[in-house]
Amino acid sequence: MTKLSVNVNKIATLRNARGGNVPNLLKVSSDLEDFGAQGITIHPRPDERHIRYQDARDLKKVVKTEFNIEGNPISKFIDLVLEVKPEQVTLVPDSVNAITSNAGWNTVKFKDFLSEVIKTFKQAGIRTSIFVDPDTEMIKGAKAVGTDRIELYTESYAVNYALNKEKAITPFIKAANIANELGLGINAGHDLSLENIEYFAKNIPNLLEVSIGHALISEALYLGLDNVVNMYLHKLK
Ligand SMILES: CC(=O)[C@@H](O)[C@H](O)COP(=O)(O)O
Ligand SMILES: NCC(=O)COP(=O)(O)O
């Protein structure tokens, strides 16, 4: 069975919009686990525009399932992860100004750098995953740098799903088969949603975990608004 790790970046985005503590990131994360989430993912960015570094420290005390911290391994990120010691760290090659993650690692070009960082995290007992496009050379490169898992970057699947889902998933099945042959664990994420997740999970062999945030939180808003509007109307009667 594939585990669902909920990415709570958007909860922090909403909280930061007003400067207070609503919604409460720690309570939401803990409630998500009570509702069945099998992991909590955060992606602190250098500008701390949503998740703050302190959130990572606070969440470590609250998360009872699997804590996954994603990010570009700049030195302050490495220090944070080594301090917090989540169950899993996912390395993502973000550029500072990118609105969201928009590429997988070039595991061949960054072989030495990734090998060193992965060794550091593994020595600290933290499982490693690296964000990659569904590309044969990049997956072989991921094996060469010693990572435990890869996270398949699923934006192209999500974008193309509505046009032609068989075509959209083909490179991901091929990538998963190669990863399985090499003994790499497989995670996946980015723009997965209620619309496209079932087909992905059914077709990717040995998909261990998906991390989902943007769509899941948006869907929760849509699916909850009817209920909440009626609760307000009731109070205004
Ligand atoms: C690694 C990845 O795929 C991202 O989707 C990510 O973790 C989300 O980050 P933002 O919430 O900053 O867009
Ligand atoms: N690793 C991907 C992730 O955590 C969530 O991405 P998204 O669902 O916010 O696109």
Which of ligand 2's atoms lies nearest the C-alpha of 151? 1
Separation of alpha carbons 97 and 99, rounded Å: 6
Task: Look up residue 209 and give its two tokens.
Answer: 């975990």
Q: Among this protein's residues, is 33 annotated catalytic?
A: no
Percent of the chain with pLDDT strictly greater than 90: 97
Residue 41 DSSP SS3: strand
**Residue 8: CB within 6 Å of ligand 1?**
no
**Residue 51: CB within 6 Å of ligand 2?**
no
> Is 90 exceeded by the pLDDT of residue 201?
yes
Residue 211 DSSP SS3: strand
Give the ligand whose atoms come closest to the C-alpha of residue 43.
1
Instruction: Tell me the pTM.
Output: 0.97
Tell me whether residue 7 is annotated as binding. Answer: yes
Give the range of the structural domain holding residue 40, as residue numbers without chain letter. 3-235
Q: Among this protein's residues, is 70 annotated catalytic?
A: yes
What average pLDDT does the segment 194-213 reach? 98
pLDDT digits (tens, 9 = 90+) for 149-164: 999 999 999 999 999 9
Task: Look up residue 202 and give its two tokens.
Answer: 């059914």
With 0-12 CB in 10 A as exposed, 13-18 as middle and 19+ as buried, what is 171?
A: middle
Which of ligand 2's atoms lies nearest the C-alpha of 193? 8
Q: What local confidence, expressed as pLDDT, does residue 175 receive? A: 98
**Residue 7: CB within 6 Å of ligand 1?**
yes
CATH of the domain at 37: 3.20.20.70
ipTM of predicted complex:
0.96
Q: How far is CA 79 from the centre of its chain?
A: 20
Separation of alpha carbons 159 and 192, rounded Å: 10
Q: Say if residues 94 and 45 touch (Cβ distance below 8 Å).
A: yes
DSSP string covering 157-189: HHHHHTT-HHHHHHHHHHHHHHHHHHT-EEEEE
Residue 17 DSSP SS3: helix
Q: What local confidence, expressed as pLDDT, does residue 120 receive? A: 98
Domain count, the chain: 1
DSSP code for 107:
T
